[in-house]
Amino acid sequence: MASDNEPLKSSSAVPEPDPVDPDETDDLEAPVEPEAPALSRRKLFAGAGVAAAVVAGGGLAAWLTVRRTPGAGNVSRALKIGYGGDVCEAPLYVAYEQKIFEKYGLNVEIIKTGGAAIKDAVGAGKLDAAPGIFFSWLKPIEQGIDAKLAAGLHEGCLRIVVPTDSPIKSVADLRNKPIGVGAIGNSAMSFFSLDLLDAGLNPAEDVDWRVFDGDQLPDALARGEIVAIAASDPTALLPTLKGKARELTNNSHGANRQLYCCATAINGTLLREDPETARKLVTAWAEGSRWAGANIAQTAAIEVDKKYVAAERDVIESILKTYGYNPSAAKLKGEITPGIAKFAKTGYLDRKTDPQALADKVYVDLGLNW
């Protein structure tokens, strides 16, 4: 990971487009850390200790990559959107590269960062927005991070995989076993804690969460340092495609199936001071999701050619085909309250958490009717 003080780098300017009023385009239905040694966190989430876990990591993340799209937006500065380099962040890459943000009159920079620090950055206003699974944002928002979720982008990007010859047949078999994750409290760890709960396990006590840099997780699995990987694509899926692992479960089926594995998280200051710009940002982002779903091959090419994702184009294309692209603000809102009620049972939230009160704190209604 690069230094926190690494300067931002912007590309050269391009001609400014004419802003588009989203009200006139309501038809949106168109087609980390070194390899050794791993960090174990078996009991880290007991009580309020989850807070330190979620925001740990030595401060705000370093800015590894910055890309800029000059435009004619309503704000006087560029909007900064963070990303981690996952296949599932395709809607963001597309909205940037296909100039959809420009179409809505937005001046956007997309900044590569990583881990739990991306949440700190959004809350502190270092980033204006970032994608992510809503479960991983619950504790930070509960504890005061200034951010809200506005819309869901797509489904199907989290998986647990085990070695091909592993005796593990179900999530229940992970009791007292080491599971590799990219960060404590990240999207995969948060979501699969629900499956562990359903299997009769306490996700904070009955498994051994171990942190590796994402690129090192497949090697750790091969060496036997962990028995499973819980991660987003491509980290989780690559060992499977190479015949070295098999999928145990994912977030597209089962009792905890989600309509949206990725949602838009928006900084609170932006929401309060310029809700119209936030509305345009989310609308453009969702349009990027629809475009990605309708143009899988082109989207895979963008991810590879622009070096967003370190994987082969055919691999990325096969992964993108497994997702569902039907972004919605209203449907995400409907998932949040029952999702919080279930997630509270993992012990990661305050015991006194009121699901509806937290849902009101987590979700922002920008008046989007899709």
Looking at per-residue pLDDT, the higher value among 230 and 11 belongs to: 230
pLDDT at 362 over 80: yes
Strand-by-strand arrangement of the 228-232 sheet: 39-40, 208-211, 178-181, 228-232, 158-163, 245-250
Q: Given pLDDT bands bounded at 50, 70 and 90, which one contains residue 241?
A: confident
Q: Can you tell me the distance from the alpha carbon of 202 to that of 192, in angstroms, rounded to the nearest whole number?
A: 11
Looking at residue 63, its pLDDT comes to 36
Looking at per-residue pLDDT, the higher value among 66 and 182 belongs to: 182
pLDDT at 156 over 80: no
Most confident of 46-60, 213-227, 278-292: 278-292
Looking at per-residue pLDDT, the higher value among 40 and 91 belongs to: 91
Phi-psi region of 75 (alpha: psi -120 to 50; beta: other; left: phi over 0): beta
- Quote the pTM value: 0.75
Beta bridge partners of 324: 155
Tally DSSP H helices, then E strands, for the chain: 14, 12
Looking at residue 17, its pLDDT comes to 40
Q: Can you tell me the distance from the alpha carbon of 192 to that of 168, in angstroms, rounded to the nearest whole number?
A: 16
CB within 8 Å of 106: residues ≥ 6 apart:
69, 71, 73, 79, 277, 280, 281, 284
DSSP secondary structure of 315-361:
HHHHHHTTSB---BHHHHHHHHHHHHHHHGGGT-S-TT--HHHHHHH
pLDDT at 44 over 70: no
pLDDT at 4 over 50: no
Looking at residue 266, its pLDDT comes to 98
- C-alpha distance from residue 122 to each of 79, 90, 130, 145 (Å): 11, 19, 7, 8
Looking at per-residue pLDDT, the higher value among 52 and 225 belongs to: 225
Pairing status of strand 79-83 against strand 108-112: parallel
Q: How far does CA 269 lie from the centroid of its chain? A: 21
Which residue type occupies 354? D
pLDDT tens digits, 12-35: 333 344 444 444 333 333 333 333
Looking at residue 254, its pLDDT comes to 76
